[in-house]
Structure 1
Amino acid sequence: MKQPEMLVAGRARAMPRRGLVEGPDFEFFQRRYFTPAEVAQHNVPEDLWVSYLGSVYDLTPLARKYKGDLLLKPIVEVAGQDISHWFDAKTGDEHTLEVGAQESMWEILHRYLPYNAHAASYTWKYEGKKLNMDFTLEENGIRDEGDEFDYLNMDGALYIPAILLYFSDDLTEL
């Protein structure tokens, strides 16, 4: 039996001819592209894939290593899905809550829970300063500047103090 003809182009590795087309040895071939439907089939901890910015990652070894660990829960919940939005700042979530002057930060946190079930596991900061969750906004140095805006004939809705939440590597749910 005659061996398949080997083609060499410049410095490229020789490819055996398979009928009318040349190509890699499929016994050792690894696919580089997967459809979302193909990724979606790998949606359990024993076979866990995710896609991220157009690439597919097999996280099964990670799921096996940390089986039962609470920190693995968010990854298992998105098994077989795209997680690019987790890391892309342009897709970050922003929520505006109207709060009362006498509400403590804990009360505000509880009203924020429908937007983020893990809100209690974040460090809450304003202008880089960690907030005391037992205090109100004003006690934390976040003043109601409505009177100043009125005095200056400015629309107070144009400025809303931003409280930033920083991930604390804990996924506590209340």
Structure 2
Amino acid sequence: MIVKENPKIQGNNKQFLPAPYKKKRYYTPQDIKVHNTANDCWLSFFNKVIDLTPLIQASISSPLCKPLIDAAGTDITYWFDSQTREPRKKIDLQTGQEVYYCPLGQFLHIPPQGPNSTIDASATLVPWWRNPEYQIGLLSYKVRKIKIVNMLSDHEDVLVVPSEETINEILERYKTINYHAASYTWKRMSIPLDMDKNLEENGIPDETVEFEELDIPETEWYIPAIHLYFNDDLTVA
């Protein structure tokens, strides 16, 4: 079996692995999309988000890694049966036999199929799609936009966040823009927000469904704003 070099494999050395990260409860599709190489391989299916980087690195010489690397950063729910949550099967039109449905080719932990198939020696282990070790969080049921207005600098940023996230979790996202985000009081209409509740629970509804029903172009949708007031205390971070 000849496997062409995959441009998504950026070298097999551990030095290319991403830095340790703090897991989130929920992720957006964009969060997952950027983790799209052999050295940083995230996938989602059935609303679960998994990081298969350790598995890929441990098996990098196997051609069975290639489909997972090619799919990195995307949702692969369609690879699986919606009822059993196991890899889908189909009838091979040439042999009439039931085989696994592998749209990008046979992948790790799929049992061998046919006399000339590549044997996956790790197939006797708990397959990665059933192994909770790889799950790092959940895919958001619905994402939404929120505008963050820094009243000190008069700077505005629009974030795409999971609708399930609390204000504290949104604050953690915003730290990539402003490391001292926790040194501000977060308010909406001059009222401090409950940092342990999400946007909806803080009286900031998601009106995107109404905008879609009214056929309003997305570029014209109203984005609610949160205003940050500096507490003059940089010791909080």
TM range (shorter): 0.3 to 0.5
TM-score by length of 2: 0.34
Q: Which has the larger radius of gyration?
A: 1
Q: Which has the higher strand share?
A: 2
